[in-house]
Chains A and B, each alone.
Chain A
């Protein structure tokens, strides 16, 4: 390595990144422009720019559907996604700690079972699960959307955190144990802080996936007042009658804002990660 290339490489890196950004973001830019096209151009005009800018999609879209304002859908989505994040981080990190650090009977079998639950397409378990919530009188509430997360049924995240926890040097929690820490204290004061990148990743994914999830929310929510953003978006579009694609695109673009902000806020924590949290020893 010579001395000069450092800045040259940095420029090269930026150029490469910008090229990728252009390719990757073009479809999103297209979406943004589609949201201000006149109705007869949205699906038939291929060029990026509209012939004239129309903001009807935003005004009509924000009015929502069937007398329920779109703001309501946003609030509902915030509630569901926010609670899901808290529930998932808590429950999945608990289970992951047990799998990653503790020894107990049936560990192998339980872990295998957990992974197995990821493999069955959810379409066939949907109806039995629906029956459970229906018998409990919880259909048309947010409970079926959040309770499963509080009970760590999303094995993806348990597995994710397990993988990260196993990467944490064992000397650290062994040292804590020798210092007289209980398992609980070791979990809370040593392992959990060191798992921050995994927890941040879990938060980001949970928020975004819940925000975008359509199928479960569609099945469990009935009242338009309880609808979330993905459900609200589909109210604008129907294959058997007249649709409002302008409003759909406008609200789709708007729905990206909270998740972009959430991502921006949390990815900072991701950067800090372990490198600044004292894993030097």
Chain B
């Protein structure tokens, strides 16, 4: 298991730099009882409901397990099979990587732009916020899938608009070339969650900072670059990490739109969709568990990299003064 390290806030500012390291354990012990009091519910949940099932799935990943009869130990067999003898697995990796690389930046950019557009005290804010959030309310229901299908169907509004510009396309959802794009767009369309988080983050930035900078003659772009971005960086960081994790695990949009299979000619065979099919429809839960742990390892590595780089661009107010803030 790869360990992800949060950028550790340096210890108390009043402590002389030389003794910081030695000072640490003493200070830690000081607030420990309280810390564990606060952590009790989470610790209980982790021990009772999370750790156990995770360990079981780790164990199962080394077995041949059909759900109904006892698991048989196969060592690294599942992992070997994945990379040497399973074309669909490789297809699912490809689909997922494309999805992560395209949808995450797109969704973050759209949601940040819209959040900034909304972050104003002028009128209509409530209405727009609700309207922009509305698509996310629909979730990934059967209704959402059917609506999406109708939009991209041959003769549907998207095709009509494109045809107007001379580009004739088939039914997006059902064509291997366009299908993944329609799912990416669905993901981006439901940009409400990161937007709300950005908005909440923007609200935390004291308006005085902007006003002061404006008086000093800083233009909108400079204020965005030097005030908004650094002040918002913890939230951008959060959204980046979470959206990346979610994108790696994308399941429901492809599941409902693709009718529970990998779309036309496996064009939407997302990693977790394939995992689900293997585990619950083909009764190979051992292999599915192995797939899950490979995914965990990949996500952990990516997240660890993002966390490492965080030191360079994420500014916390509890940090030691490298932030633009102080």
Contact between A and B in the complex (any CB pair below 8 Å): yes
Say whether A26 faces chain B, with CB atoms less than 8 Å apart.
yes
B174 to chain A, nearest CB (A): 14
The number of residue pairs between A and B whose CB atoms lie closer than 8 Å in the complex comes to 312
- Of the candidates A148, A198, A249, the one whose C-beta lies within 8 Å of that of B200 is A198
Given contacts A116-B300, A271-B203, A275-B203, contact A233 B6 (CB under 8 A): no
Given contacts A119-B295, A123-B292, A153-B46, contact A204 B196 (CB under 8 A): yes
A250 to chain B, nearest CB (A): 10
Q: Which of A185-232 contact B (CB under 8 A)?
A: 187, 197-198, 200-201, 204-205, 208-209, 211-212, 214, 230
A35 to chain B, nearest CB (A): 9
A211 to chain B, nearest CB (A): 8
Q: Is the CB of B130 within 8 A of A124?
A: no
- Of the candidates B24, B118, B143, the one whose C-beta lies within 8 Å of that of A248 is B143
Given contacts A27-B189, A260-B130, contact A151 B44 (CB under 8 A): yes
On chain A, the residues within 8 Å of B299 by CB distance are 119
Question: Most B CB atoms within 10 A — which of A119, A153, A248, A264?
Answer: A119
Q: Is the CB of B288 within 8 A of A123?
A: yes
Q: Is the CB of B203 within 8 A of A102?
A: no
On chain A, the residues within 8 Å of B73 by CB distance are none
Say whether B276 faces chain A, with CB atoms less than 8 Å apart.
yes
Q: Is the CB of A151 within 8 A of B41?
A: yes
Say whether B74 faces chain A, with CB atoms less than 8 Å apart.
no
Chain A residue at minimum C-beta to C-beta distance from B30: A103
Given contacts A151-B49, A170-B317, A256-B137, contact A124 B132 (CB under 8 A): no
Q: Is the CB of A169 within 8 A of B200?
A: no
Question: Most A CB atoms within 10 A — which of B117, B139, B157, B219?
Answer: B139
Say whether A24 faces chain B, with CB atoms less than 8 Å apart.
yes
Q: Is the CB of A167 within 8 A of B201?
A: yes
Say whether A145 faces chain B, with CB atoms less than 8 Å apart.
no
Q: Which of A1-40 contact B (CB under 8 A)?
A: 1, 10, 13-14, 16-17, 20-21, 24-28, 30-31, 34
On chain A, the residues within 8 Å of B129 by CB distance are 267, 270
Say whether B57 faces chain A, with CB atoms less than 8 Å apart.
yes
Given contacts A43-B150, A160-B238, A167-B234, 10 further A-B contacts (CB under 8 A): A31-B138, A94-B40, A107-B28, A120-B57, A124-B279, A125-B56, A147-B49, A166-B316, A252-B142, A253-B143
> A residues near B, CB below 8 A?
1, 10, 13-14, 16-17, 20-21, 24-28, 30-31, 34, 43, 46, 90-92, 94-95, 97-98, 102-105, 107-121, 123-129, 132, 147-148, 150-153, 156, 158-160, 163-164, 166-170, 183-184, 187, 197-198, 200-201, 204-205, 208-209, 211-212, 214, 230, 233-234, 237, 239, 245, 248-249, 252-253, 256, 259-260, 263-264, 267-268, 270-271, 273-275, 279-280
